């Protein structure tokens, strides 16, 4: 059994440098021809493909598998798709050649309406306790409400929160990175950080500011640059893996404890990040 709990994963933070997370799921599915509106239903209709993407990340060295559950609409079908996404991620982790934890990805605004389903899925269906991840968060009031519900319903489940920041290191609601970090720390999250920004520089600045502000593990998951929209409307991320590995190296030096990728990142990017982190003797 190589599936480990979120708590076991957190115990490893800082032992040998940053942990390596995976890259994008949604944009990978789109690159395989899945329409954007069908990405989240793929847990039910294209489970083999979702599994393959997770496995490809395992093959290049990830220590975390993020469920393909970000952006699921609330209401009918949420629980079914979310549960399927969790089961796929767990099955890949269980078969992996090294110990791997599952990051259960959530939209922060979905936590309150889906709290009963979420409690049932995690308490009754999860094989081991995952690390819950509220990602691409933009609004502290929404995050606070979500964290309060999670602390009440799932007090034994570790929680990470990563936020989107503009280039001025402020969230969409105007909250600066340092204030965000302190608020999240006071809310009792186990890890915090940044994902999906407009530039790597913004991610660097947010990571260094958060690292200096709070004594918690910092998660950093930048994009593979900004997308280019082709004439057929499809979006393409063009950052080379070598550029992504340079970003990963910088993030390690700035104090990030968990490094992975967001939109547009592929297994090649995570492979390059793994290589550079290994060269820094952190993996």
CA dist., res. 68 & res. 138, Å (int): 20
Residues 6+ apart with CB under 8 A from 249: 276, 277, 280
> Is residue 49 close enough to count as binding Zn ion by CB under 5 A?
no
**CA 90 to chain centroid:** 15
| Partners of 194 in beta bridges | 163, 220
> Is residue 218 close enough to count as binding Zn ion by CB under 5 A?
no
> Is residue 196 close enough to count as binding Zn ion by CB under 5 A?
yes
Burial class (CB in 10 A: 0-12, 13-18, 19+), 216: buried
Stretch that binds Zn ion, among 137-145, 196-204, 225-233, 266-274 (CB under 5 A): 196-204
Q: Which C-beta is closer to Zn ion: that of 259 or that of 262? A: 262
Per rule CB under 5 A, count of chain residues that contact Zn ion: 3
Distance of closest approach, residue 271 Cβ to Zn ion, in angstroms = 19
Distance of closest approach, residue 223 Cβ to Zn ion, in angstroms = 5
- Residue 216, classed as helix, strand or coil, is coil
Distance of closest approach, residue 164 Cβ to Zn ion, in angstroms = 8
Give, in order, the Cα–Cα distances in Å from 220 to each of 64, 74, 272.
13, 27, 16
Site for Zn ion in 247-276 (CB under 5 A): 262-263
- 260: tokens are 């992975």
Distance of closest approach, residue 4 Cβ to Zn ion, in angstroms = 25
Q: Which C-beta is closer to Zn ion: that of 227 or that of 255? A: 227
Residues making contact with Zn ion (CB under 5 A): 196, 262-263
């Amino acid at each position: 059994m190589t599936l480990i709990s979120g708590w076991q994963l957190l115990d490893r933070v800082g032992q040998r440098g940053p942990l390596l997370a995976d890259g994008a799921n949604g944009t990978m599915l789109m690159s395989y021809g899945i329409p954007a509106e069908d990405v989240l239903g793929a847990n039910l209709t294209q489970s083999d493909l979702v599994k393959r993407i997770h496995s490809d990340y395992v093959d290049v060295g990830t220590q975390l598998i993020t469920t393909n559950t970000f952006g699921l609409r609330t209401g009918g079908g949420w629980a079914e798709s979310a549960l399927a996404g969790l089961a796929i991620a767990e099955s890949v982790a269980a078969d992996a050649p090294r110990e791997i934890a599952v990051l259960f990805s959530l939209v922060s605004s979905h936590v309150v309406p889906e709290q009963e389903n979420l409690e049932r899925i995690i308490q009754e269906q999860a094989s081991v306790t995952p690390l819950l991840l509220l990602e691409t968060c933009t609004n502290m009031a929404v995050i606070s409400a979500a964290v309060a519900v999670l602390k009440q319903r799932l007090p034994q489940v570790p929680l990470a929160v990563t936020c989107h920041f503009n280039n001025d290191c402020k969230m969409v609601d105007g909250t600066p990175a340092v204030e965000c970090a302190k608020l999240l720390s006071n809310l009792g999250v186990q890890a915090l950080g940044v994902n999906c920004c407009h530039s790597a520089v913004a991610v660097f600045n947010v990571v260094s500011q958060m690292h200096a502000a709070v004594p918690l593990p910092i998660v950093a998951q930048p994009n593979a640059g900004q997308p280019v929209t082709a004439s057929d409307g499809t979006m393409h991320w063009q950052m080379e893996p070598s550029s992504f590995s340079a970003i990963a190296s910088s993030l390690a030096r700035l104090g990030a404890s968990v490094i992975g990728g967001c939109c547009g990142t592929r297994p090649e990017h995570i492979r390059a990040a793994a290589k550079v982190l290994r060269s820094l003797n952190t993996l």
